[in-house]
Amino acid sequence: MNRSYIYLVLLSCVLLLLAVPVLADTVGKTGNIKGTVKTNDGQPASFVTIALPEINRGTITAEDGSFTISGIKPGTYTLRCSAVGLEARETPVTVEIDKTTRIDFTLNESAAQLSEVVVTGDRSINRKPVTAGKININPIDLPQSIAIVGSEVIASQQASKLSDVIKNVNGVSMGTTRGTTSETFFARGYNLGANNIMKNGARANSAVIPEASTLEKVEVLKGSAALLYGNVSSGAVINMVTKQPKFEYGGEVSMRVGSYSLYKPTADFYGPLTKNLAFRVIGTAETAESYRNSVESKRFYVNPSLLYKLGAKTEILVQGDYLMHDFTPDFGIGTLGGKTISKDISRSAFFNTPWAYNEVEQTTTSATINHTFNDAWKLNAVGSYQAFDRDYFSTERIQALENGDWYRKLTRSKIGEDYYTGQVNLNGDFKTGTIRHQLLVGVDAEQYMNTSHTFKIALDKSGVYDTINILNPAKYTPRTDEPATTLLTRTEAPTYRVGFYAQNLVSLSEKLKVLAGLRWSVQKVPVADVYDFTTDVKAPAANTKTKYDRAFSPRVGLVYQPVAYISLFTSYSNNFAPNTGKDISGENLAPSIIDQYEAGIKTDLFQDKVSANVTLYRIKNNNLAQMAQFLADGSANSDATIKELTGETTSDGVEVDLNGTLENGFSFWGGYSYNFMRYTKTSGKNGSYIEGERLVSNPAHTANGSVFYTFQNTALKGLKLGISGFYTGKRNAGWNKNYVVDKDTGARTINDRLFSVSGFTTFDVSAGYTYKKLSLLGKLSNITNELNYYVHENYSVNPIPPRQFVTTVAYKF
């Protein structure tokens, strides 16, 4: 994006943010209703429906029990307060011009009783503000697609990994599981790396599979979230929200067992320590074997937290968690000749060494301060720290010859990562004349240190550990000893980020809203320090410079609501993506500039219990960074840190979401997405890619659907039945094709290392029964025993799990 265009967008945002009062004369005279809903023990009642049935207007209460209905024409109405399983309460309310009428409700139930009958996910996702949005705005009022997977879905599907949760979000798919050490997701054609994964709103490490069974919910901001989080890719931002303390005693203990020796006990305890201090402690342990021979896993996770209410307007939440995960790295079955996945190799075949290991520890701490100045202004401040350590020794890259011979090489690594993050957000909800402003102003900063080590492995000059044959394991006798290793160097590579942002949702009327925002981001990447591990002497710096990336990230959107339950929107956003690594000349790569255009419709039906949303988008990346195909001397490159800018890509797509929960115990959620990400402009030079070719790891079609029914008032009361289906379409694997020009003749040929992987569909069925505080739930997954693969490039080819059974027995108290 050129500088004049940046200034033009900046000027437009400023005008929208500051000059909207000029339009006041065009707006009709209306009033507002505000209030809170509490339980009889004084606790806030969240996710309770507040409605004006006469005009089909309404909302749901926020986490603190508050609600606001704005832009109501003067008159007398009936205000209705209701929640699933509770008798509705009604009261008359009179709305006057330019005035806010205050109505508060107190429910007869306690907070504990309310939590039993108000099921997470009981109202449309369009009426639930997400914490990842940093401001309390209903998604139906935002020009962006948003998805929420709540704890009820996580529990009903007995999810353990983040991928178990994310497969319920259409348009976000798991692309690869390189060595099963982590899960990589793709959305709208883009890889969601470490910058796009959050925990409680703070950036989190993605090099370990997080514990998902104890999460409160997972929020997904689809498309660009650069204004809120800086240098994220344009696909989506995933925010994992952990469970918080409560001011009433309770908890749950459970035991999960399943196929392949899965054992997973979990305990959750919460309650008050004093009248102002509450606690929560959640812990789980897991041991499991695998459908993959010789693969084992051990996990331990604990998540303590404290909530302190410092008076009526301030609360402090302190959270922490610790994850230990030891498991066998597994690169699956690999390829033959670089492009063939053999159907003759068993799904359970294992080709790593018997001693291979991957040992991970991750610790996270955070503190959140929420302060309410008055009804109009609120302050939120979050600070967090995360430490990650991985010790790894394994074979790598199963790239066998066509006859099955594979020359096994080894990789030894030890990595440490430290994240320090902080953010301060000021929220305002006020009026200038008759125009409502929902303002967010904030600043965030991060410090990231990556510490890596290099090793010398005791092998001969060839660097080959041994030779095996993946088609005929009896052909060779594999080695079983673990070679000695020697630490050589320690590299410390820091990164610093800071950003300032402002966003304003301007309600020009009850039907027309304008969103405008702007972010200024700076990223600094100093030259890494390399130390000799034996002497701790720092090596002379290479001929590189500190890298600075600076950019504006504007966002403009328009929302039109012809009626309260239909929202039409369109938006534009821009962000930059800093590119790591060096080019073939050893220089830093310029950032990629990304433009996103989005439009859609959001609808709520049956008093906000059912939503149906459709989104269209186009994303253009001016220069995508990829691993360089050739070095400066023309030889093939095998170093993933040496990259090149490969040309413009365009990602077009559509997403359809449908979900709802009805009071008769029937709940459903599902969706469909189509994406076409391809090269649209390349240089045409040596090494350039093929225009029009779909990028690897991105399926064209994905879909998901789940239906659960809980019997309510019959002899079968407490019985729950469910079925889920998930589809991942055909996608490319390997590497995209590129042109190669012969230096002598000038002839241009295509270097073809691309191959396709077929699509697949899996179905899960669930059945459970709840009697008072005791519940039993079972699931049979992949009931058709479908066989397919997750493929990273052309060497980590991991079969999907076969048919499996898992059951959980739980007791609430």
Whole-angstrom distance, CA of residue 437 vs CA of residue 137 = 11
Which residues, at least 6 apart from 228, have a Cβ–Cβ distance to it below 8 Å?
132, 133, 134, 221, 237, 501, 503, 519
Burial class of residue 585 (count of CB atoms within 10 Å of its CB; 0-12, 13-18, 19+): exposed
* Closest by Cα among 523, 515, 445, 503 to 231: 523
Which residues, at least 6 apart from 767, have a Cβ–Cβ distance to it below 8 Å?
719, 720, 721, 722, 777, 778
Question: At residue 729, does pLDDT exceed 70?
Answer: yes
Quote the tokens at residue 233: 């890719």
Confirm whether 18 is domain-assigned. Answer: no
Confirm whether 20 is domain-assigned. Answer: no
The model's confidence at residue 306, banded by pLDDT at 50, 70 and 90, is: very high
Phi, psi of 349 (to 5 degrees): -60, 135
For position 3, what pLDDT does the model report?
45
Beta-ladder partners of 494 = 449
pTM for the model stands at 0.86
The 8-class DSSP code of residue 338 comes to: T
Whole-angstrom distance, CA of residue 701 vs CA of residue 539 = 50
For position 551, what pLDDT does the model report?
87
Which residues, at least 6 apart from 504, have a Cβ–Cβ distance to it below 8 Å?
16, 17, 437, 438, 439, 440, 515, 516, 517
CA 433, 435, 438: angle at the middle one, nearest 5? Answer: 125
| b/e 473-484 (16+ beta carbons within 10 angstroms → b) | eeeeeeeeeeee
The model's confidence at residue 20, banded by pLDDT at 50, 70 and 90, is: very low
Quote the tokens at residue 287: 């041991």
* Stretch among 498-512, 515-529, 728-742 having the lowest mean pLDDT: 728-742
Whole-angstrom distance, CA of residue 362 vs CA of residue 397 = 26
Confirm whether 200 is domain-assigned. Answer: no
Quote the tokens at residue 518: 């702007």
pLDDT in tens, 336-346: 998 999 989 99
Confirm whether 470 is domain-assigned. Answer: yes
Q: Residue 591 belongs to what domain range? A: 241-356+370-812
- 3-class SS of residue 695: coil
* Closest by Cα among 41, 37, 93 to 67: 37
pLDDT in tens, 698-716: 999 999 999 999 998 788 9
Question: At residue 13, does pLDDT exceed 50?
Answer: no
Residue listed under structure tokens 């300032």: 500
Confirm whether 326 is domain-assigned. Answer: yes
The model's confidence at residue 325, banded by pLDDT at 50, 70 and 90, is: very high
Quote the tokens at residue 360: 């991970």
Q: What is the DSSP string of 392-417?
A: EEEEE--EE-TTSEEEEEEEEEEEEE
The CATH number given to whatever domain includes residue 535 is 2.40.170.20
Could you give the C-alpha distances from 534 to 486, 488, 493, in angstroms and in order?
A: 10, 7, 19
Could you give the C-alpha distances from 99 to 30, 33, 65, 66, 724, in angstroms and in order?
A: 8, 9, 21, 18, 48
pLDDT in tens, 49-97: 888 887 767 777 876 788 888 778 888 999 988 775 566 788 999 998 8
21: number of Cβ within 10 Å: 14
* Closest by Cα among 238, 301, 311 to 277: 311
State percent of the chain over pLDDT 90. Answer: 60
- 3-class SS of residue 17: helix
Secondary structure percentages of the chain, helix, strand, coil, to 5:
10, 55, 35
Question: At residue 694, does pLDDT exceed 90?
Answer: yes
Whole-angstrom distance, CA of residue 597 vs CA of residue 349 = 45
- Asked whether the beta carbons of 131 and 200 are under 8 A apart, the reply is yes
For position 25, what pLDDT does the model report?
38
State percent of the chain over pLDDT 70. Answer: 92
Quote the tokens at residue 336: 């033959």
For position 724, what pLDDT does the model report?
97
**E-strand stretches of 585-695:** 592-605, 610-621, 625-627, 643-645, 648-661, 666-681
Could you give the C-alpha distances from 420 to 319, 448, 450, in angstroms and in order?
A: 15, 6, 12
Q: What is the DSSP string of 748-778?
A: EEEE--EEEE--EEEEEEEEEEEETTEEEEE
For position 638, what pLDDT does the model report?
63
- Asked whether the beta carbons of 541 and 250 are under 8 A apart, the reply is no
Residue listed under structure tokens 């609360």: 315
For position 73, what pLDDT does the model report?
84
Instruction: Give how far the C-alpha of residue 317 lies from the chain's centroid of Cα atoms, to the nearest Å.
Output: 22
Quote the tokens at residue 477: 């006798």
pLDDT in tens, 610-635: 899 999 999 999 988 777 767 777 66
Which residues, at least 6 apart from 418, have a Cβ–Cβ distance to it below 8 Å?
385, 386, 387, 388, 448, 449, 451
Confirm whether 467 is domain-assigned. Answer: yes
| b/e 332-358 (16+ beta carbons within 10 angstroms → b) | bbbbbebeebbeebebebbbbbeebeb
Confirm whether 363 is domain-assigned. Answer: no
Per mean pLDDT, which of 147-156, 519-528, 758-767 is the most reliable? 758-767
pLDDT in tens, 548-563: 888 889 999 999 999 9
Confirm whether 464 is domain-assigned. Answer: yes
Whole-angstrom distance, CA of residue 441 vs CA of residue 503 = 6
Instruction: Please provide the average confidence, as pLDDT, over all residues in the chain.
Output: 88
Domain count, the chain: 1
Q: Return the H-helix or E-strand segment holding 326.
A: strand 314-327
Q: Which 3-state string (H, E, C) describes 440-470?
A: EEEEEEEEEEEEEEEEEECCCCCCCCEEEEC
Q: Integer distance in angstroms from the first to the last C-alpha of the chain?
A: 58
Whole-angstrom distance, CA of residue 810 vs CA of residue 78 = 41
For position 14, what pLDDT does the model report?
44
Question: At residue 415, does pLDDT exceed 90?
Answer: yes
The 8-class DSSP code of residue 170 comes to: T
